Amino acid sequence: MKKNVIALAIASAIAAPVAMADAPTVYGQVNMALEQVDVKDNDAASGTEVNSRASRVGVKGSEDLGNGLKAIYKFEFEVQIDEGSTLKNRNQYVGLAGGFGTVLMGRHDTPTKMIQAKDLFNDASLADNKPMAGGLGAFGKGMENRVSNVLAYVSPEFSGVKLIAAAVPSEGTTTGDESSLSDLYSVALTYGSTKKGLYLAAGMDQASEEYAADANHMRLVAQYKTGGLVANAMYQDFGGDAIEDTVQGGSNVQANLGYKMGNIMPKVKFSSVDRDAGEDSSNYAVGLNYSFGKKTTGYVEYASIENAGGVDEANTSAVSVGLLHKF
């Protein structure tokens, strides 16, 4: 009994100053899927799996500093709940926001990644934007790059248009040359919102040899969302001395189409991969979402990846049944 009283007193003492400030928000999602994977001519990689799809937990918040200025922060981690308690860093930053926009420092998605259209198969093992891009790009992730040591700026909205920019020094991690904010930079423009109506966006990443490899990536996005309809397309181009004329150089077009009717949403995705070298790919996914509630969604999906990595007949497919809960 005494131990409980002491513990309560300590907890109250810690909570008191927190209650006087803006309380942080704890959030996250748990996404698990039962999957039947088929990798052609590779029995060891095929079979039934239970997989965590980027399950995550985070803490975020802000504090009013007066005069229209506020401090913002966020710490988000991926949690591998299917393989133990290993944490993987996601977006994590501290910054200032005001009438001038938002400035932040830390680890974050590049602006070119941020402008992606709504992915109806987000975090899926095969059907996410990254695997659907077929391994294109200097980092093998399509445009889905999250970088450390970033300095980023997001402008206010002007007549629906917003500017996003980021600069990333290499900090001597690759070549040992002097680090500079120009080692990797990313710039994007957006119009409208991915949540409703017409959305248009364009972005580019430029990496130098000092950062990792001389490469440039470009992304163009168009989306229309109204009522239950979501329809979008992305064009992506991957070039630069480091990847031209290789299986990582080339272009990619992806499109999503879904229509929500009550609690049900049928959805489909198609991706065409045109490589500078190796075999091209036509990848696709189909699925059905069912909303059990505002925060809980069940899904059934089928995805197929053709000529993975540009290798002829290196085909992979998966049938997935899963459950997503957000909190």
Locate the domains of the chain by residue range. Answer: 27-326
Q: In the predicted model, what is the mean pLDDT of residues 284-304?
A: 98
User: Comparing 91 with 215, which gets the higher pLDDT?
Assistant: 91
pLDDT-based confidence at residue 3 (cuts at 50, 70, 90): very low
Beta-carbon contacts of 213 under 8 Å, excluding residues fewer than 6 positions away, are 138, 207, 240, 242, 243
Full DSSP string of 134-178 = TT-STTSSTT--EEEEEEEEEPPPBTTEEEEEEEE--TTSSS-PP
Structure tokens at 70: 């506020």
Q: In the predicted model, what is the mean pLDDT of residues 59-71?
A: 97
Residue 223 has pLDDT above 90, yes or no: yes
Closest CA to 203 of 118, 137, 113: 113
Average pLDDT, the chain: 90
Residue 210 has pLDDT above 90, yes or no: no
pLDDT of residue 209: 80
CA distance 105 to 57: 20
User: Comparing 138 with 221, which gets the higher pLDDT?
Assistant: 221
CA distance 202 to 107: 22
Query: For residues 296 and 10, is the Cβ–Cβ distance under 8 A?
Result: no
- Give pTM, 2 decimals: 0.88
Backbone angles phi, psi at 59, to 5 degrees: -130, 130
pLDDT of residue 1: 44
CA distance 220 to 307: 25
pLDDT-based confidence at residue 42 (cuts at 50, 70, 90): very high
User: Comparing 180 with 224, which gets the higher pLDDT?
Assistant: 224
Query: For residues 104 and 95, is the Cβ–Cβ distance under 8 A?
Result: yes
pLDDT of residue 21: 54
Residue 10 has pLDDT above 50, yes or no: no
Percent of the residues in the chain that have a pLDDT greater than 70, as a whole number: 91
pLDDT-based confidence at residue 290 (cuts at 50, 70, 90): very high
Q: Looking at domain 27-326, which of 2.40.160.10, 1.10.10.10, 3.40.640.10, 3.40.50.1380 is its CATH number? A: 2.40.160.10
Q: Which of 131-140, 196-205, 311-320 has the lowest mean pLDDT?
A: 131-140
pLDDT of residue 224: 98
